């Protein structure tokens, strides 16, 4: 804490000396333009401005001092819990105008790079499903907050920043002044937050529609109901603990499959093993179009379709978790998976069957076949057995794609293979 005058105080864990030079004796809405960084601002009940200091951009919000200090501490707690939220920088209190009138305190947070408020996203040219993608991202954020025992109390798109970076589409909490941290939330607390989100989102969607930022045929009520459905499904999928033997990898695949069916992908996969068995924990994320194709191509050189890439990457993540490789560099995991899992499967296809399907599709179907066999058997049948069954029971009966494209149909080719 450093005193600037007999009244002004700046409380910060990492003081920025440039804060001393800002015109704290002037109400924030009257700050000169040369002090302001031109960035899009969301809707707020408080005056908010951006300033550039020491090569970084900060958001300053005028607010009552007790609330400012409480929110500052709450944001620090959320950062320690690794919840996606803005980073608190300082609280400035004891402000007095030039004529001696007291001014409100200021909460200062570091601007989240590459992030935008939801209204700024809708002012750009985006795909028609942008609204549902924002709601999906908010559902992920709300689940993460609730898992940490955080009751938000003011859930809305307006109190959230959205960020797209390397294909991800994620939501970050930006306003925590109404929030409370508990050891664990009750079902009633969670339900209230979700219902509040539904009501607020409906109002925000109607507002966008009135401003001609959404099509007339867009249904704000249906969009707001989506947060309830997405939250409920995601909460159940993430909190229902499932214990199994370490060899039952097919059950991890089943969990990922259910998450994919909800429209989410795996951001993080953790397997915890103790004397009671193995427990799976999955962290979801919402990704942008083409993300899987780009990531797989960068890691492995495989250039495949988006759904194929998603399936291969899910298997790679599952492979890393099952082999205690989650601390390794992503490129190392990818190379190991490619040489020990993917390539053995594609090499197992007999020469006379290699025109049936593309290698990535063959691998996807082998994984699918393994999952069905494992579910029926009640245990992981293993990759070798899945390959053998798939080649003799499935692939051999496929029509040769090259022959079909050439206008010639073919009969199944009998094969004999050894594994």
Give yes or no: residues 299 and 379 share one domain: yes
- Claim to verify: residue 203 and residue 320 sit in the same structural domain: no
The answer to whether residues 142 and 76 belong to one domain is: no
Listed in sequence order, the residues at least 6 apart from 117 whose beta carbon sits closer than 8 Å to its beta carbon are 40, 41, 42, 43, 158, 160, 161, 162
Q: With H, G, I as helix, E, B as strand and everything else as coil, classify residue 116.
A: strand
Q: Convert the pLDDT of each residue in 19-41 to its tens digit.
A: 888 899 999 888 888 778 765 55
Q: What is the pLDDT of residues 34-67, one digit of tens each?
A: 778 765 555 567 788 888 887 788 889 999 999 9
Q: Let me know whether 128 and 163 are in one domain.
A: yes
Judgement on whether residues 96 and 143 belong to the same structural domain of the protein: no
Distance CA 225, CA 228 (A): 5
Query: Which of the 8 DSSP states describes residue 340?
Result: I
Residues 254 and 395 in one domain: yes
> Does a structural domain hold residue 418?
no
Q: Considering only residues 141 and 322, tell me which one the structure prediction assigns the higher pLDDT.
A: 141
**What pLDDT score does 241 carry?**
62
Percent of residues, the chain, with pLDDT higher than 70 = 78
Cβ proximity of 286 and 137 under 8 Å: yes
Q: Which of 9-18, 192-201, 353-362, 387-396 has the highest mean pLDDT?
A: 192-201
Mean pLDDT, all residues of the chain: 79
Give the number of domains in the chain: 3
CB 89 within 8 A of CB 108: yes
416 lies in some domain: no
| Residue 100 per-residue DSSP state | S
Residue 396 lies in a domain: yes
Q: The CATH number of the domain where 144 resides is what?
A: 1.10.510.10
Closest-CA residue to 400 (of 355, 365, 350)? 355
50 HSE (CA, 13 A, CB side): 14
At residue 404, the pLDDT reads: 37
State the first-to-last Cα distance of the chain, in angstroms, to the nearest integer. 70
> Which of 3-17, 125-139, 351-365 shows the highest mean pLDDT?
351-365
Look-up of token digits 């709450």: 74
d(CA 63, CA 88) in angstroms, rounded, equals 14
Torsion on CA atoms 309, 142, 115, 37, rounded to nearest 10: 180
Mean per-residue pLDDT, 314-335: 86
Last residue of a domain, one of 63, 81, 111: 111
Question: CA–CA separation, 177 vs 166, rounded Å?
Answer: 30
Query: What is the reported pLDDT for 311?
Result: 83
What pLDDT does 282 receive? 64
- Do 36 and 173 sit in the same domain of this protein? no
Per DSSP (E only), the strands in 128-276 are 150-151, 160-165, 168-173, 180-181, 243-244, 265-274
Residue 318 lies inside a defined structural domain of this protein: yes
Half-sphere exposure of 102 (CA within 13 A, CB side): 8
- Taking residue 19's Cβ as centre, other Cβ atoms within 10 Å add up to 22
Cβ-based neighbours of 209, under 8 Å, separated by 6 or more: 216, 218, 220
Who contacts 292 (Cβ-Cβ below 8 Å, separation ≥6)? Answer: 265, 306, 307, 309, 310, 313
pLDDT of 419 above 80: no
Query: Which pair of structure tokens corresponds to residue 261?
Result: 């069916």
HSE of 293, CA atoms in CB hemisphere, 13 A = 8
Which of these ranges, 80-94, 187-201, 233-247, has the smallest mean pLDDT?
233-247
Q: What is the pLDDT of residue 212?
A: 80
The pTM score is: 0.64
Residue that is written with structure tokens 């941290």 in the block: 181
Map residue 411 onto helix, strand or coil.
Answer: coil
Summarize pLDDT for 354-370 with one digit per residue, the tens: 777 778 888 888 888 88
DSSP 236-247: HHHHS--EE-TT
Cβ atoms within 10 Å of 323's Cβ, excluding its own = 14
230 versus 351: which is more confidently predicted? Answer: 230
The answer to whether residue 11 sits within a structural domain is yes
Looking at residues 151-162, what average pLDDT do you find? 92
Predicted confidence (pLDDT) per residue in 164-212, tens digit: 643 446 789 999 989 999 999 999 999 999 999 999 999 998 988 888 8
Supply the pLDDT for residue 357.
73
Q: What pLDDT does residue 277 have? A: 59
Same domain, 130 and 104: no
Q: How confident is the model at residue 141 (pLDDT cuts 50, 70, 90)?
A: very high
pLDDT of residue 411: 43
In this structure, what DSSP letter does residue 178 have?
A: T
Q: What is the pLDDT of residue 2?
A: 44
Residues 78 and 130 occupy one common structural domain: no
- Look up tokens 């009750």; give the residue: 186
The domain in which residue 7 lies consists of 2-111
pLDDT of residue 287: 57
Average confidence (pLDDT) over 85-93: 93
For residue 270, tell me if it sits in a domain. Answer: yes
Give the model's pLDDT for residue 402.
43
- The reported pLDDT for the residue numbered 125 is 45
Q: What is the pLDDT of residue 90?
A: 93
What secondary structure letter does DSSP report for 6?
S
In this model, does residue 148 exceed pLDDT 70? yes
234 found inside a domain = yes
Does residue 327 share a domain with residue 291?
Answer: yes
If asked whether residues 397 and 289 sit together in one domain, one would say yes
Is residue 413 situated within a structural domain? no
pLDDT at 146: 94
Instruction: Pick the last residue of a domain from 111, 136, 157.
Output: 111
- CATH number assigned to the domain comprising residue 106: 3.30.200
Helix (H) and strand (E) counts in the chain: 13, 14
Cα 124 from Cα 62, distance rounded (Å) = 29
Q: What is the pLDDT of residue 211?
A: 81
106: pLDDT strictly greater than 70 = yes
Residues 127 and 230 in one domain: yes
Domain boundary among 51, 76, 111: 111
């Amino acid at each position: 804490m450093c005193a600037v005058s007999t009244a002004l105080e700046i409380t910060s864990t990492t003081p920025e000396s440039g804060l001393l030079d800002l015109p704290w004796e002037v109400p924030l809405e009257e700050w000169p333009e040369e002090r302001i960084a031109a960035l899009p601002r969301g809707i707020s009940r408080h005056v908010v401005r951006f300033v550039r200091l020491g090569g970084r951009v900060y958001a300053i919000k005028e607010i009552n001092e007790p609330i400012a200090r409480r929110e500052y501490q709450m944001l620090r707690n959320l950062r320690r819990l690794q919840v996606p939220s803005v980073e608190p920088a300082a609280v400035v209190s004891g402000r007095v105008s030039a004529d001696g009138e007291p001014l409100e305190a200021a909460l200062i947070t570091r601007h989240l790079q590459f992030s935008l408020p939801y209204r700024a996203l809708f002012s750009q040219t985006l795909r028609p499903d942008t609204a549902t993608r924002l709601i999906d991202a908010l559902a992920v954020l709300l689940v993460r907050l609730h898992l940490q025992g955080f009751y938000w109390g003011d859930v809305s798109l307006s109190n959230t920043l959205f960020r797209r970076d390397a294909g991800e589409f994620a939501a970050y909490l930006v306003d925590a002044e109404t929030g409370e941290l508990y050891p664990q939330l009750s079902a009633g607390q969670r339900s209230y937050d979700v219902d509040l989100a539904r009501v607020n989102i409906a109002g925000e969607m109607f507002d966008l529609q009135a401003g001609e930022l959404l099509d007339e045929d867009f249904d704000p009520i249906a969009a707001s109901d989506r947060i309830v459905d997405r939250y409920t499904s995601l909460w159940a999928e993430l909190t229902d603990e499932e214990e199994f033997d370490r060899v039952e990898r097919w059950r991890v695949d089943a969990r990922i499959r259910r998450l994919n069916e909800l429209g989410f992908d795996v951001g993080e996969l953790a397997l915890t093993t103790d004397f009671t068995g193995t427990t799976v924990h999955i962290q979801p994320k919402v990704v942008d179009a083409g993300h899987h194709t780009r990531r797989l191509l960068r890691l492995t050189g495989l250039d495949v379709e988006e759904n194929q890439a998603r399936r291969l990457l899910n298997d790679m993540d599952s492979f890393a978790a099952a082999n205690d490789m989650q601390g390794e560099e992503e490129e190392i995991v990818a190379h190991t998976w490619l040489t020990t899992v993917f390539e053995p499967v594609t090499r197992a296809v007999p020469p006379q069957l290699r025109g049936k399907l593309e290698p990535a599709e063959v691998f996807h179907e082998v994984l699918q076949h393994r999952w069905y066999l494992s579910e029926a058997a009640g245990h992981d049948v293993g990759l070798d057995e899945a390959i053998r069954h798939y080649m003799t029971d499935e692939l051999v009966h496929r029509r040769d794609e090259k022959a079909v494209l050439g206008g010639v149909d073919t009969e199944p080719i009998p094969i004999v293979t050894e594994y």
